[in-house]
């Protein structure tokens, strides 16, 4: 019974963490695009986005990250045999990648707070899709418990993302010609 409670909480905290991981890069896009506004509007928008990003990171993403790790570790403690299974080892590898993504997002947050804009809004839109790839890979692994089937899901997602981003670029070019 403890396992089911840990699993339920783990799912809730993963959803909360991913909500932040999906929304933060979108805020980065808006934050970056605010630079194109007139000075008075720009100042207000940059201050507002900096505030929103900081609050999202500190109040949602960090607690959700730690609670996800705590409940995941609890489940592994209750089911230690999973650690010897290939799908779990691969899943944990993706979780490490997701942690890297989380901390890279924090680095971007600090750069934008210091008004250092290394990436265009288009590049940040692409960055936003990285979390989606991690989500697909992890969910396919957990549900299918197969180290190979997840590849097809992720490849399909990547193809869809490339198609979507190509469409965004085409629409952007058509608008700029008008």
- Tens digits of residue pLDDT in 126-165: 898 889 889 988 888 888 887 666 677 677 777 877 887 7
The alpha helices in 79-148, defined as continuous H runs, are: 86-113, 121-144
Domain carrying residue 111: 2-177
Which range among 15-24, 113-122, 155-164 shows the weakest confidence by mean pLDDT?
155-164
The overall average pLDDT reported for the chain is: 91
pLDDT digits (tens, 9 = 90+) for 64-97: 999 999 999 999 999 999 999 988 998 999 999 9
Residue 10 is assigned to a ligand binding site: yes
- 102 assigned to a ligand binding site: no
- CA dist list (Å): 69 to 45, 62, 100: 34, 11, 14
Q: CB-based contacts of 34: which residues, under 8 Å, 6+ apart?
A: 41, 42, 45, 46, 49
- Encoded tokens for 48: 């507002």
Going by C-alpha positions, the residue among 26, 18, 10, 158 that lies closest to residue 79 is 10
Quick one: pLDDT at residue 147? 60
Residue 3 has pLDDT above 80, yes or no: yes
Per-residue pLDDT, 152: 75
Report the domain count for the chain.
1
Residue 25: CA atoms inside 13 Å, Cβ hemisphere, count? 23
Look up the pTM and report it.
Answer: 0.85
């Amino acid at each position: 019974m403890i396992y089911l409670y840990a699993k339920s909480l783990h799912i809730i905290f993963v959803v909360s963490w991913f909500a932040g991981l999906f929304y933060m890069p979108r805020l980065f896009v808006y934050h970056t695009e605010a630079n194109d506004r007139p000075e008075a509007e720009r100042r207000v928008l940059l201050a507002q986005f900096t505030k929103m990003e900081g609050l999202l990171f500190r109040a949602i993403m960090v607690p959700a990250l730690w609670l996800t790790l705590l409940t995941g570790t609890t489940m592994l403690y209750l089911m230690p045999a999973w650690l010897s299974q290939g799908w779990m080892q691969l899943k944990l590898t993706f979780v490490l990648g997701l942690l890297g993504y989380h901390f890279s997002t924090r680095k971007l947050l600090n750069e934008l707070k210091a008004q250092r804009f290394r990436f265009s809004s288009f590049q940040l839109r692409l960055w936003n899709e990285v979390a989606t790839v991690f989500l697909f890979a992890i969910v396919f692994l957990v549900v299918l418990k197969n180290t190979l089937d997840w590849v097809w899901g992720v490849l399909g997602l990547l193809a869809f993302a490339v198609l979507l981003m190509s469409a965004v670029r085409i629409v952007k070019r058509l608008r700029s010609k008008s």
